[in-house]
Amino acid sequence: MVAIVMRHFKIYITLFFLTLFVIKSNGQTGNLSLTLQVKDTINKLPKAKDDWFSVVLICTIKNNGNDTIYFVNPEAYKIFPHPWTISINGSDAKFWSGDIRCAPSFTTRDIIKLAPQDTISKQFDWHTFVSNFSQQVGTYKAKVKYNFIGDKTWTMGADKKLLSDLKSNYSNEITFKIVD
């Protein structure tokens, strides 16, 4: 009986340490930090409701780790699900991946290389193709996060193999207004 218990104990200990190794080596949670800004804190709606309207945001991405990382440009198309999420007034939505039939393909230009301790700023729009978009007059709070897991993502176009499994916390929260 003691031998069986010891054998099971050894198996559990081995599985525990393997789990820790996989968690530590798969992805770089915490190595990616995001700082969000809004281009204009007051965004005026167009006079014609059919005219294009969007809010321009800028995200500064920092690699806090010791290894070079590869991540997806926020404006990339044909990556499913999109790794970027925007939260507007507490409502989360993935960035738009594009229409399968007509959006540009995912390309190697959509993969951004970031050396250790480097930063880069990327601009993108919150617009009608993001499910939590609104053209209602009011005050909005926004924040973004990034989560890419290669095994759970597919692309149409360039291969995703170069991309790093990465997960960030939410960025800082910014405030902007939409006015008539």
pLDDT-derived band at 17 (thresholds 50, 70, 90) equals: very low
pLDDT-derived band at 24 (thresholds 50, 70, 90) equals: very low
Structure tokens belonging to residue 72: 């997806």
Share of the chain above pLDDT 90, in %: 82
DSSP state of 31: S
* CB burial of residue 49 (10 Å; 0-12, 13-18, 19+): exposed
Q: What mean pLDDT comes out for the span 39-49? A: 95
pLDDT over 70 (residue 13): no
What pLDDT sits at residue 23? 35
Query: What does pLDDT average to over the chain?
Result: 88
Q: What's the CA gap between 86 and 94, in Å, rounded?
A: 6
pLDDT over 50 (residue 119): yes
What pLDDT sits at residue 105? 97
Residue 13: strand, helix, or coil: helix
Phi then psi for residue 9, to 5 deg, are -60, -45
pTM of this structure: 0.82
Q: What's the CA gap between 129 and 95, in Å, rounded?
A: 8
Q: What mean pLDDT comes out for the span 68-80? A: 97
* CB burial of residue 87 (10 Å; 0-12, 13-18, 19+): middle
Q: What mean pLDDT comes out for the span 116-145? A: 97
